[in-house]
Amino acid sequence: MASLWSSLEKDVFNPQKKKLLETVRVWKTGKKKKMSILCVVVDTFRPMQLFLVKVKVDRGEQYKIAYRWPLAELKLVDGKTLNQANLRAIISPEKQVTQLMSSIDEALAEVARVEETLQIYDELLGSVKQQMDHIHRENSLLHRIVSNKTKLMDEILFLTTHLDLSKEHCDALSRADLSSPSRVRACIAAAEALSGCMNVQIQPGYRKLQSVAEQLIMFETLKQNFESSFIGHITSIFELQGNAQVPALGQPIDKLSAPSHGLHHEELVSYAPLMAWLRNANPVLFCDLPKVYAQNLSRLYDREIKAFFEQAKTFLLGRRKGKEPTTRLLSEIFSCLEPELRGFLDICNKVHPFGCLQVLATLNDFVFEMWGSSSALPSSFLNSVLGNMLLLAKSSFNKCIGTLCKEIKEAKMPSKMKGGILPSVSRFEEFVDFSEEVFRTAQRRGELDKAHLRLADSVFSSINSLSSANLKVNTDMVMMENFHHIHCFLCQKKIHCLEDKKREAKQRYSEHMEKYVIKYLGQPLEKLNVVWHAMEQEFIRQYQEFEDLIQRCYTGSGIAMDFSMEDLLSYFNSITLSNM
Q: What pLDDT, on the 0 to 100 scale, is given for residue 90?
A: 47
CA-closest candidate to residue 540, choices 568, 575, 577: 568
Q: What is the Rg, in whole angstroms, of the alpha carbon atoms belonging to the chain?
A: 54
Model confidence over 227-239: pLDDT tens digits? 899 999 999 988 8
Compute the distance between CA of residue 510 and CA of residue 378 in angstroms, rounded to an integer. 53
Q: Does 241 have pLDDT greater than 60? A: yes
Q: Return the H-helix or E-strand segment holding 80.
A: strand 80-81
User: How far is residue 480's CA from residue 511's CA, in Å, rounded to a whole number?
Assistant: 8
Where residue 15 sits, what CATH number does that domain have?
2.30.29
For position 372, what pLDDT does the model report?
60
**CB burial class (10 A; 0-12, 13-18, 19+) of residue 537?**
exposed
Give pLDDT, residue 321.
Answer: 54
Query: Does residue 190 share a domain with residue 92?
Result: no
Distance from C-alpha of 55 to C-alpha of 93, rounded to nearest angstrom: 19
Tell whether 126 and 171 lie within a shared domain: no
SS3 content of the chain, % helix, strand, coil (to 5): 70, 5, 25
Least reliable range by pLDDT among 85-89, 487-491, 501-505: 85-89
Question: Looking at the predicted structure, is the pLDDT value of residue 197 above 80?
Answer: yes
Least Cα distance to 284 among 334, 224, 242 occurs for 224
What integer pLDDT is reported at residue 468 of this predicted model?
A: 61
For helices 530-553 and 283-319, give the axis angle rounded to 10 degrees. Answer: 90
> Are the C-beta atoms of 551 and 559 separated by less than 8 Å?
no
Same domain, 126 and 173: no
- Could you tell me if residue 263 is inside a domain? yes
Domain that holds residue 27: 2-130
Of the three residues 105, 130, 155, the one that is the final residue of a domain is 130
Same domain, 9 and 116: yes
Q: Let me know if residue 43 belongs to a domain.
A: yes
Helix intervals (H) in 381-445? 381-409, 423-438
Whether 41 maps to a domain, the answer reads: yes
Closest CA to 535 of 580, 568, 507, 490: 568
Amino acid at site 146 = V
Structural domain count, the chain: 3
Task: Quick: pLDDT tens for 521-569.
Answer: 445 545 455 646 656 776 787 788 878 877 877 777 777 777 788 877 8
Amino acid at 250: G
What single-letter DSSP state applies at residue 401? Answer: H
103 and 58 in a common domain: yes
Residue 196 included in any domain = yes
Residue 577 sits at φ, ψ, to 5 deg, of -65, -35
The Cα–Cα gap between 401 and 451 comes to: 6
pLDDT of 88 reads: 47
* Structure letter (DSSP) for residue 18: E
246: confidence class by pLDDT, cuts 50, 70, 90 = confident
Q: Which residues pair with 159 in a beta bridge?
A: none
Among residues 357, 466, 485, 497, the alpha carbon closest in space to that of 426 is found at: 485
Q: Are residues 6 and 122 in the same domain?
A: yes
Task: Decide if 10 is inside a domain.
Answer: yes
**241 belongs to a structural domain:** yes
Q: Binning pLDDT at 50, 70 and 90, where does residue 186 land?
A: very high
The answer to whether the beta carbons of residues 40 and 104 sit under 8 Å apart is: yes
Count of C-beta atoms within a 10 Å radius of residue 241: 19
Q: How would residue 11 be classed by pLDDT, with cut points 50, 70 and 90?
A: confident
Determine, yes or no, domain membership for 144.
no
Distance separating alpha carbons of residues 29 and 34, to the nearest angstrom: 8
Between vectors from CA 231 to CA 229 and to CA 235, what angle results, nearest 5°?
120
Q: How far apart are CA 475 and CA 471, in angstroms?
A: 7
Q: Are residues 126 and 176 in the same domain?
A: no
Give me the pLDDT at residue 374, please: 47
Say how far apart CA 23 and CA 2 lie, in whole Å: 11
SS3 state at 561: coil
Whole-angstrom Cα distance, residue 177 to residue 128?
Answer: 75
Whether residues 106 and 26 share a domain: the answer is yes
**What is the per-residue pLDDT across 118-136, written as a single tens digit (0 to 9) for each?**
888 888 888 888 888 888 8
Q: Which helix (H) or strand (E) holds 144?
A: helix 94-162
Please indicate, yes or no, whether residues 113 and 177 belong to a single structural domain of this protein.
no
* Contact indicator for 186, 172 with CB cutoff of 8 Å: yes
Residue at which a domain ends, from 102, 130, 158? 130
> Is residue 521 a part of any domain in this protein?
no
Q: What is the pLDDT of residues 25-39, one digit of tens each?
A: 888 777 777 788 888
Q: How far is CA 360 from CA 145, 231, 404, 429, 518, in A?
A: 78, 35, 17, 20, 49
The residue out of 73, 106, 130 marking a domain boundary is: 130
Helices (H), 261-380: 262-269, 272-281, 283-319, 326-333, 337-351, 355-371
For 329, the 3-state DSSP assignment is helix
Tell me the DSSP string of 30-73: SSS--EEEEEEEEESSSSP-EEEEEEEE-TTS-EEEEEEEEGGG
What share of the chain has pLDDT > 90, as a percent? 3
- CA dist 431 and 397 (Å) reads 12
Q: Which of 543, 438, 403, 421 is nearest to 483 (CA)?
A: 421
Residue 165 half-sphere exposure, CB side, CA atoms within 13 Å?
28
C-alpha dihedral sign at 573, 575, 577, 580: negative
Instruction: Give residue 254's pLDDT.
Output: 61
Predicted TM-score (pTM) above 0.85: no
**563 phi and psi, to 5 degrees?**
-140, 155
Q: Residue 406's pLDDT is what?
A: 87
CA 476, distance to chain mean position in Å, is 44
pLDDT of residue 401: 85
pLDDT for residue 326 = 63
User: Does one domain contain both 111 and 210?
Assistant: no
Q: Based on the domain organization, do 281 and 174 belong to the same domain?
A: yes
